[in-house]
Structure 1
Amino acid sequence: MKALHVITGLGIGGAEQQLRLLLRHLPVDCDVVTLTNPGAVADGLVADGVRVTHLGMAGNRDLAALPRLVRLIRSGGYDLVHTHLYRACVYGRLAARLAGVRAVVATEHSLGDSQMEGRRLTAGVRGLYLASERLGRATVAVSPTVARRLRNWGVPAPRIEVVPNGIDLTRFRFDPLQRLHTRRRLGLPEEAYVIGGIGRLTAGKRFGTLIHALARLPENCWLLLVGGGPDESVLRRTAHEAGVADRVLFTGERPYVPDGSPGPDLPSLTWAMDVLASPSPEEAFGLAVVEALASGLPVLYSSCPAIEDLPAEAAALARQVHGGTDEFARALAAARAEGPRPRTAPEAAHHYCITRSAAQLMDVYAAASSSSPSPQGVSSS
C-alpha cells in the first residue's frame, strides 16, 4: 500500500508530531504533503526518510492549491489519502476524490465542544466540514470523547473510527541522570520544585492560571512552560506583573524526538519536572498529560479525555482540578507536600502505546481500501 498524508502545516504541534511518530510505526509506504508552514516537523520527517512536499498554499481561500494537490495525488499513484487538521481535511478529501482515490481517511485531532484548532464552531465551519467529510470513507477520532462530538455534529456513527493518539513509551521512560543534566542546563536550583506546562502558548490553554498560581506558592517553586505560540509575550508580561518572572522558564517549541536542534527535547524536559499541570478546559485527547504519565509524573488537569475515558485506577497519579487559579494553587501545594514518588509509567500510559495505535489504524486502512466501507467502527479497547 502507498499512502499520502495531507496536513495543514508541519510546525511543532501535537498533531504534527503525532504524524511523525505514527509514520515511524506504520508498515506502509508513506509520503507527506503540507499545505503551509514546512517547519521543524517537516525537517524531522525528511531526516526519517519521508518524502515531504510543500504545496505553498497562501491561505484558507487559495483555491489554486486544489488543482496542484489533485495533480500531485494523481502522479503519486497513491492507494489511500489520509488527511489531518481542518484545512487539509477540507481540501485533501476533495482533491483525493477528484484524483480518483476513493480510499480517503481523515483524523480529527482537535475537535472540542466549542472550538476546533482555535476557531469557533460556527454554522459555516460545521457545514463545510460535514460536506467534505462525506467525500471520505472514514473519520478517525482520537478519543471516544471526540467520537461523541463528531456524532453530535452530524457525522454518521458508522463512519467514525476511534484510534487514540499514541506515545513512544521508551522515549519517555524516566532517566534520573538526564533529569539532573537537564535541570542544570536550564539553570534550575537543586532544591527547585518544578511545575510543568506543555502545549501551544494560546489563550485556550490557560497557562496564565499557572503563573498566577505560582505567585501563591513558596519561593522554591518554578514554572517550566514548554511550547511556542502567539501568547508568549502576554504570558511573559503576566509573569512580570505577578512578580514571578524570575521563576518562569520558557523553552520554546521542543521536538518529541532528538533532531539535532539546541536545547533538550520534550522527554528530557518532562524528566526535569516534578508535576505536570494542564489547566486547559477543553481538550480532544490530552497528549501532554499522557506523555507526562509515561515519564512517571503526577498530573493535575482540567480536561483530558484520554484519562477520563479510562477506569480511574489506570492513572492513579492523575487528578482532575475544577476551577482556576485558587484551585490549581491548592492542588499544586498538595502535590508538593506529598513529596517525590517512584517515576514509573501507569497503566494509562501503556494503554496508549504507539504500536497499538498504528495497528488499529491499519485496520481502518484495510476497511477503507475494501470495495465497501466497514459498517462498524474500530474499537479503541
Structure 2
Amino acid sequence: MSGYTLSIIACGTMGQAIISGVIQAQHESLQQAEAAALQREARSRTTSGRASPTSATPLSHPAVSALQGQGASSSSAAPATAVAGGLSASQMTEEDEEGNPTSVLPSRYLCTVSRPESVKKLRSALKPVSSLLSDPASQLTLLGGSGSNVRAAREGDVVLLCCKPNMVKDILAEEGMREALRGKLVVSICAGLRIAQMEAWLDIAGGTKIVRAMPNTPSKIREGMTVVTPLPPSSTPLDKAILLALFTSVGRCRILEEKHFDACTALAGSGPAFACVFLEAMADGGVMMGLPRAEALELAAQAMQGAARMVLQTSTHPAALKDSVTTPGGCTIAGLLNLEDGRVRSTVARTIQAATEHASGLGQTKKN
C-alpha cells in the first residue's frame, strides 16, 4: 500500500475544498520534483559528459521533520515527493510491521454522500482535480446511500467527518461504525460539536483518536486557514505529521485549544463570507462611480488580497498599513471618516461576536 487512505464522510462544500487543495498540492509537487530531476541530470551531463541516473531529493517540510525527529521508521522504501503548504515534503511509501501506512499525505481518497444520486454531482464537482491523479479509478472512490459511511470508515486510515453538527450522532450510531473507527484518527470539522460529545457517542475505549479542525473554503485553491485542536495523548508522532501535512497542503494551519474553536469558526470559517460582503460593496462603489463591473471587482479583490498579504508577510499591524496610505486632506481619510460614521469597525467586530455565539450552540441544536 502506497500512502494512506483518507475517507471523507459527507463530502460537501468543505470536504470538496480540502480534497481539491490536497490533490493540487501533490500534483504540483510531483511536477516540481520531475523538473528538479531533469535539471540535475542536465547539470550532470554538462560536468561529466555523459548521462547519469539521478533521483529527486525531497525537500524538507515541518510535518516530516517532526516525524523524523520522533524517530519514526523509514526502513527501506524509496521516498516519492509530495507537497504541503507550498514546500516539498517526503511522502514515504513504506508500511510498518503491522501493515499500517507511514505516509504523511494520502494516496487514496474515499468520499461519501447521503444519496446514490448525489454521487454523480460529486463526481462532476471533483472532475477538475481527479484528472490530476495518476490513476483516478483506483485512487478516488465515491460512495452514496446506505452503508457507505461505514465502508468509508472501515477502509480509511484517517477519517474526515464533514457533515452538519446535527447529523453526527446518527452517523456515529450507524451499525458497525464504532468498530470501523476503532484505533483510527478521526478529524471532525463540525462546528460547535465538542470532542467530549463525540467520545461519549463512540465509546473511545476502542482507541479512536478524535481531533477537531476548522478549515475554510479557500482551501480549495490552497489559500485556506485551518485551526486544529491538540491531539490526544494516545496519538503517535505519525498522527501529528499526517494532520499537519494534510492541512498545511491547503494553506496555513494553527494548533489551538478547543475553547477557542467557536471564535475560530466565526473568524476563519465564516470570515470569507464576511470578506466577500465588503469586497462586493467596494466593487459596487466602483460601479456607482462609472467603472465597468469586471474591472471594479478585480480592483477591489486585488486591493483586499494585497492588503492581507502585506499583514501576513511583513507582520505589520493593519493600522500602520492604513496610516501609510492616509495623507493629510487626501481621498483615503475622506473615505475612512465615512466608514467611521457608519460604525463599520464596531459592526464587523460584533459580527464575529454574533457568529461565535451562534457557533457555540450548533452542536446542541437540531436546527442550524
Greater share of helix: 2
The TM-score normalised by the length of structure 1 is 0.37
Bigger radius of gyration: 2
